[in-house]
Structure 1
Amino acid sequence: MILKENIVSFDTFNFHPQIKAGILAAGYSTPTPIQEQSIPVLLSGRDLLGLAQTGTGKTAAFALPILQRLMSGARHKPRALIVAPTRELAEQTHLFFKALGKQTGLRSLTLYGGVSAQPQIKGLQAGVEILVACPGRLLDLMSQRYVDLGAIETVVLDEADQMFDMGFLPAIRRILAALPARHQTLLFSATMPPEIRKLAMETMHDPATVEINVSRPVDTVQHAVYSVEQEHKVDLLLELLPQAKGEKVLIFTRTKHRAKRLSIQLSKAGLAATSLQGNLSQSARQSAMDGFRSGRVKVMVATDIAARGIDVTHISHVINFDMPDTPEAYTHRIGRTGRMYNVGTALSLVTPDDLPMLRTIEKNIGRRIERRQLAGFDAQPQSSDRPASFDSREPRPSASPRRQPAAQQRRPAAESTRRS
């Protein structure tokens, strides 16, 4: 069952005045499609299967009904549980609850690994109503009897497909088994692999389904690709970054080592850049996120897993320094821009080896991505079995002597990726 409502204002939902104050302070006026369709369902107490890509406003779609439910009933014990795949997503969901519920007196607490458990234990002992947790740390604290899920009324599995990809499905089953027999279950996912659908069927009771352009990027994102040889990617990137005009840029690489190295290269070129990758301590990750969120740092280089769930406003550009491994990963990446009806740009640096994935991505999003060229960077065939041009459907102009990329001429400090 796919539900459709005709809501045009948050006032229609009749939220508690203290929640309305949070909505007003957050600057919300018109619900996004997933909010418009999900909130009435959740307020009625039904289970919900929400299918929507990143950037559609799903966090507020479940946070507001949870706050409304918690306004009545017991305090100082966990009654709502949100399970997230990464600590960054957990922190950002926590911040949503803090902002939207600022006037309610309801408290939320994050539980995740990589940091000392003692502050989290103290927070639990002080009493909270909302837990936002990563599976591993939650199970650890449950086994030590610091967490009791016996009073949970609503559980949210956020980014369920990513949790499956990260191997959390057994942990999720253990967590769900510890919940009371009667509770509301919300499952949000950008894609719906068979394993997630099976989990939904096993754990949810007559769920409503809200489906918003599943597995396709938001329409407010402009896509383009640039042809480039691998060894000239850094130089091309330095030529493209001024397009952002001082706004925030999120760059994706394939590995954490590459993310760290690229952020150093950009810093040497005089840019305010940082990285978000698995080798960072939690304090360093938080510092990187704080700098990027505040705008002190304009460029963040990240891997797919580290960046999962990043919810930072006004990211003008997402750049695929390395192409993703799947079309779904492309959707998740570029969903960090063009959020909440803002216009964003997604640029991809594509080598001849990336052409098969480019074709797959185009098929997935249902349109051909614009090809752009920057003089001096067009990829050249490397062997007889390579395509004769960047796109076989576009004949290459007659060959001419290749000039040194302009970025290399002006920026000797920018290292070549071949040497690293």
Structure 2
Amino acid sequence: MNFHQATPIQEMAIPKILKGSDLLACAQTGTGKTGAYLIPILDRVPDYPKGQISTLILVPTRELAQQIDEQVQGLGYYVDATSIAIYGGNKGPEWEQQKKALTQGADVIIATPGRLIAHLQLGYVKFDQLKTLILDEADRMLDMGFIGDIMNILKHLPAQRQTLLFSATMPPKIRDLARRIMHQPEEINLAVSKPAEGIDQQFYLAGDAQKVPLLIHLMQSVENPSMVLFTSRKSEVNVIVRALKKMKWDARGISSDSEQGERETILRDFKNRAFPILVATDVLSRGIDIDNLSHVVNFDVPRDPEDYVHRIGRTARAAAKGTAITFINDQDQHRVVRIERLLEKELEKRSITEGLGLGPAPLWDPKKDRGNKKKTTAPQTSSSAEKPKRFFNKKKKTGPAKTQG
């Protein structure tokens, strides 16, 4: 596959995994974590009997499961490794295909916890010959509430196994989980706080109603963009897509509420450059490898500083260049301060909306008490604050309507 040099996480992890140690590894997304555990695991596949599940990989999202499955097929081609991704959806042909793989024994199973639990409850899944358990993006799985499912799955696994836990961050709850499921793990900790040097980080002060027209202005001079726009609220995905389409930009959205087939089609078309803007929740901020993104946009500031690093890490991968645009409204300013602490530097905040005829931008004042902001800055008409879909009012020359969108 034209891999010539190990990344730092691969160089440190592969010998420990080959030695058979349990491993707790913390490394930023985009640093080669998947190869760090797949390469040594696949190296062992010819030593195990066929028809038995030797490796189980648990992941938080179906997109990551699919991507790892593809990498198993590529990396494991010459060791005759079989694999399948087990993730949610209707109990149709995919369910039967998953059941067949689980009963006949694929070498590597990559699964989201909820879907695997559904199969386990029917009694036909046997993990008695399992050699290795891998939890990838473990911190994200805990954030998504999978701890109960993970502990349930562990009851079906042999006590004598190698356990590898890979995480992009190392909060206390990850160490607590490691103590519960691992045996004297070795540890690897690589810095997670620094975005790639090739990312041009741009921050703009903007009210919610100003964000779409400001984005259109910023993108006017960009040729052939390929952009992922992140929002923290899945309810906003379709709202933003409609607003962009009204401004003659081709955009599509993806969130955890999207149907399985629709998500797969949209993600495939975006990777193939069928449309320029993908609007997504944090379901895409971790682990998903999309080549040659020109821009990442934070429509709102991520709740956690580490998530900012993961979001903008979708661009400027593998030493490439990229641009990360972040919009800051009044309520998100304290989150920017936390990002600055993590990055250990002050970030430039630009205020350009008034010069564009979009009205004044929010003032940068992160120490201001915004607890009663809705009462003190209520719009003049009672209806405007109740229309989150109304990002931009072309009829008004005094600026965009105040919204929650």
TM-score between the two structures when normalised by the length of structure 1? 0.82
The answer to whether the 8 Å contact 1:111/1:138 transfers is yes
| Alignment partner of 1:368 is 2:346 | yes
Question: What residue in structure 2 maps to residue 328 of structure 1?
Answer: 306
C-alpha displacement of 1:68: 0.4
Contact map agreement 2:211 2:327 (CA 8 A) in 1? yes
Q: Which residue of 1 aligns with 2:271?
A: 293
Structure 1 position 356, deviation (Å): 1.1
Deviations 1:356-394 (A, max 9, x none): 1111111012122233344425614599x969xxxxxxx
Equivalent residue for 2:168, pick from 190, 214, 229: 190
Is 1:264–2:255 an aligned residue pair? no
More deviation, 221-230/58-67? 221-230
SS of the aligned residue for 1:315 comes to coil
Alpha-carbon distance, 1:179 to partner: 1.6
SS at match of 1:278: coil
The CA deviation at 1:271 is 2.5
1:106 to 81, 99, 116: 81
**Alpha-carbon distance change, 309 to 242 in structure 1, aligned in 2, over 3 angstroms:** farther
Q: CA deviation at 1:65?
A: 0.9
SS in 2 for 1:361: helix
Amino acid at match of 1:87: R
Which ranges of structure 2 fall in alignment gaps of 5 or more residues?
Answer: 370-391
Q: Does 1:229 align with 2:213?
A: no
Report what 1:95 is aligned to: 70
Matched, 1:42 2:27: no
Following the alignment from structure 1 to structure 2, what is the Cα–Cα distance between the partners of residues 175 and 113?
A: 16
State the alpha-carbon separation in 1 of the partners of residues 104 and 205 from structure 2: 56
| Aligned residues of 1:55 and 1:218 also touching (Cα < 8 A) | no
**Change over 3 Å in CA distance of 1:382–1:220 after alignment to 2:** closer
Question: Aligned partners of 1:80 and 1:128: how far apart in 2?
Answer: 9
Q: Cα distance 1:154–1:242, how it changes in 2: closer, same or farther (>3 A)?
A: farther
Classify the secondary structure of the residue corresponding to 2:331. helix
Aligned residue number for residue 343 of structure 1: 321
Deviating more after overlay: 173-182 vs 227-236: 173-182
Q: Give the alignment partner of residue 318 of structure 1, picking from 290, 293, 296.
A: 296
Q: Equivalent residue for 1:418?
A: 403
Residue 59 of structure 1 aligns with which residue?
34
Q: Between 212-221 and 334-343, report the one with greater CA deviation.
A: 212-221
Q: Verify: 1:379 aligned to 2:357, yes or no.
A: no
- Residue 225 of structure 1 aligns with an amino acid whose one-letter code is F
SS, match of residue 174 in structure 1: helix
Q: Does the CA-based 8 Å contact 1:235-1:408 persist in structure 2?
A: no
Structure 1: where are the runs of 5+ without partners? 1-22, 388-406
Q: Partner of 1:301: helix, strand, or coil? A: strand
Residue 90 (structure 2) aligns with: 115
> Is 1:154 aligned with 2:129?
no
- Please state how far the C-alpha of 1:408 moved relative to its aligned partner: 7.8
Determine the C-alpha separation between the residues in 1 that align with 2:404 and 2:151.
46
Supply the RMSD in Å over aligned alpha carbons: 2.6
Distance 2:246 2:144 in 1: 34
| 1:416 Cα offset (Å) | 7.0
| 3-state SS of paired residue (1:69) | helix
SS at match of 2:67: helix
Does 2:331 align with 1:353? Answer: yes
In 1, Cα distance between the equivalents of 2:120 and 2:404?
48
Shift of 1:242: 4.3
Offset from partner CA, 1:276-297 (integer Å, 9 cap, x none): 1122110001111111122212
Structure 2 SS opposite 1:352: coil
- Would you say the 8 A contact 1:352–1:379 is kept in 2? no
The separation in 2 between residues aligned to 1:303 and 1:230, in whole angstroms, is 17
CA contact under 8 A between 1:159 and 1:190: conserved in structure 2?
Answer: yes
Give me the identity figure in percent: 37
Amino acid at match of 2:361: A
Q: Does the CA contact (< 8 Å) of 1:352 and 1:386 recur in 2? A: no
Change in 2 beyond 3 A, CA 1:220/1:204? farther
Instruction: Confirm whether residue 77 of structure 1 aligns to residue 77 of structure 2.
Output: no
Alignment: residue pair count = 372
- In the alignment, which residue of structure 2 is the partner of 1:5? none
CA distance in 1, matches of 2:44, 2:216: 49
Q: Which amino acid aligns with 1:263?
A: V
Q: State whether structure 2 residue 182 is matched by structure 1 residue 204.
A: yes
Q: What TM-score, normalized by structure 2, do the two folds share?
A: 0.85
Deviates more, 1:329-338 or 1:47-56: 329-338
Q: Distance in 2 between matches of 1:126 and 1:181?
A: 22
Matched-pair contact (CA < 8 Å) for 1:53–1:218: no
Q: CA deviation at 1:101?
A: 1.6
